[in-house]
Amino acid sequence: MAEIDHFAGLTSAELDAHWMPFTGNRHFKAEPRLFVSAEGMHYTTADGRSVLDGFSGLWCSNAGHGRKEIADAVAQQLVRLDYAPAFQFGHPLAFKLAKRLADMAPGDLNRVFFCNSGSEAADTALKIARAYWRAKGRPEKTRLVGRAQGYHGVNFGGISVGGMVGNRRNFGPALDVDHLPHTLLPENRFSRGLPEHSGEAMAERLLDIVNLQGAENIAAVMVEPFAGSAGVILPPKGYLQRLREICDRHDILLIFDEVITGFGRTGSAFAAQEFDVLPDLLTTAKGISNGAVPLGAVFAREGIYDAFMQGPEHIPELAHGYTYSAHPVACAAAMATLDIYENEKLFERVKTLAPVFEEALHGLRDAPHVADIRNYGLAGAIQLQPRDGESGRRAMEVVLEAYRRGVLLRWTGDTIAVAPPFIIEQAQIEQIAQTLKDILHTAE
């Protein structure tokens, strides 16, 4: 088999062997986009080019790449304790990390359950919600509510509650879930930060679901504080507060999926703090370990944990967990990541950079094809008008051209998403915006 040198030495058999996730495999393999190293704000491609990371890898490398502190912590942990059984035994770092995370979280979200990804965090939280109501003697409360355009990963609970129909369509029957409408409203186009209009009215659509299903049957509502994967869809002002009120009034648990919004993306540790709404369960992954080692965590309020602490003490109170829950190496990576966030005051840095980022993105308003621009903290989206009959193609072409010109972004449908590491410099924010502007002016 001939070697394809500019493909990082990969043979076509090797390219074929890897069935890539969420990727058009044939499209990719015809012209691979391969990274071979990364440092700070930049990736290096197989053909030796430097690419500015405008997307924190995949919403996860918040402190930038190649962080030596994390590498050292991981290396030391591997030598000291490579693995400890996750069930019936433990290791100290898991408890130390849990306490440290609890101290960062708002309110009494003080009990932390570890898993390995955002998808596992979503399904873990949904199972905790259902089991909680059983523990409280209300086993009929099983129904789950999600939101259109929501993304909660790819496991069966997550795709059911999630509102991205394409992720569910091909997998047969899912859980029977009701969905709130999304909050992408024409009256809020080109909002800067949280949109002004229709927050309470959109949240009150939950009352329709309560009327239909009966609150006595509903276990939980799960939403992202802002939808990331669907293209930074922000909650209009008052929306999350009203959801919280309705959930309180009807004894429904509120779950925030903070896999993207957690660990500083909004400028606060969690969006729950930024938007001042306390959920009952909060899911995280990605930025918890800077993307260096897979890790997820579900935060539960003390009352939820306490409800489980009954029955014979030697029986697991929650029949759930993963071989790699609180993996020592992932815990070490997370500890080092949290040190970096703290020492370099990276969440404060997001707050400082957010206005610069907002200005840069909204500077694209008059560029060709732009239909909407949304932003919060260091998350932003430029929504393009779809090309006739070719939905999603324009944004894809723009992102691929940006990659050729040395900027990594992401497309989702007709939206281009921007979410750089928090160590980004102002000039690099401007570089991203200028690259997009140049491309849009010549894009078909």
Ligand X SMILES: Cc1ncc(COP(=O)(O)O)c(C=O)c1O
| Residues at the interface with ligand X (CB under 6 A) | 59, 117-119, 122, 151-153, 224, 228-229, 257, 259-260, 285
Min CB(296)–ligand X separation in Å: 7
Q: Which is nearer to ligand X, 101 or 260 (CB)?
A: 260
User: Which residue, among 234, 263, 272, 265, has the nearest Cα to 55 in the 3D structure?
Assistant: 265
**CA–CA dist 364, 304 (Å, integer):** 46
Cβ distance 363 to 348 under 8 Å?
no
Shortest separation between residue 393's beta carbon and ligand X, angstroms: 22
Integer Cα distance of 421 and 263 in angstroms: 11
Alpha helices in 46-117 (DSSP H): 56-59, 68-80, 92-104
Separation CA 139–CA 152 (nearest Å): 24
What's the Cα-to-Cα distance from 20 to each of 17, 165, 364, 441, rounded to whole Å? 9, 20, 33, 32
**From edge to edge, which strands make up the β-sheet containing 379-384?**
370-376, 379-384, 415-418, 410-412
Q: Report the candidate in 429, 269, 402, 335 with the shortest Cα–Cα distance to residue 99.
A: 335
* Residue number, 229 or 431, with CB nearest to ligand X: 229
Min dist. Cβ of residue 229 to ligand X (A): 5
Q: What angle do CA 345, 351, 355 make, to 5 degrees?
A: 145
In angstroms, give the least distance from the CB of 55 to ligand X: 11
Smallest gap, in angstroms, from Cβ of residue 114 to ligand X? 13
Nearest residue to the partner ligand X, using Cβ: 118
CB of 270 to ligand X, least distance (A): 13
Choice between 73 and 297, CB closer to ligand X:
297
CA dist 263 and 246 (Å) reads 27
In the complex, minimum distance from the CB of residue 150 to ligand X, in angstroms, rounded to a whole number: 8
Nearest 5°: phi and psi at 37?
Answer: -160, 170
Q: Residue 383 or 412: which CB sits closer to ligand X? A: 412
- Least CB distance to ligand X at residue 152 (A): 5
What is the closest distance, in whole angstroms, from the C-beta atom of residue 175 to ligand X in the complex? 16
How many C-beta atoms surround the C-beta of residue 244 within 10 A?
19
Q: Which is nearer to ligand X, 259 or 418 (CB)?
A: 259
- Compare residues 257 and 280 and give the one whose CB is closer to ligand X: 257
In DSSP terms, 257 is beta-bridged to: 283
Distance CA 86, CA 327 (A): 7
CB closer to ligand X out of 188 and 412: 412
Residue 400: Cβ within 10 Å count: 16
The residue among 60 and 370 lying less far from ligand X, judged by its C-beta, is: 60
Q: Which is nearer to ligand X, 7 or 156 (CB)?
A: 156
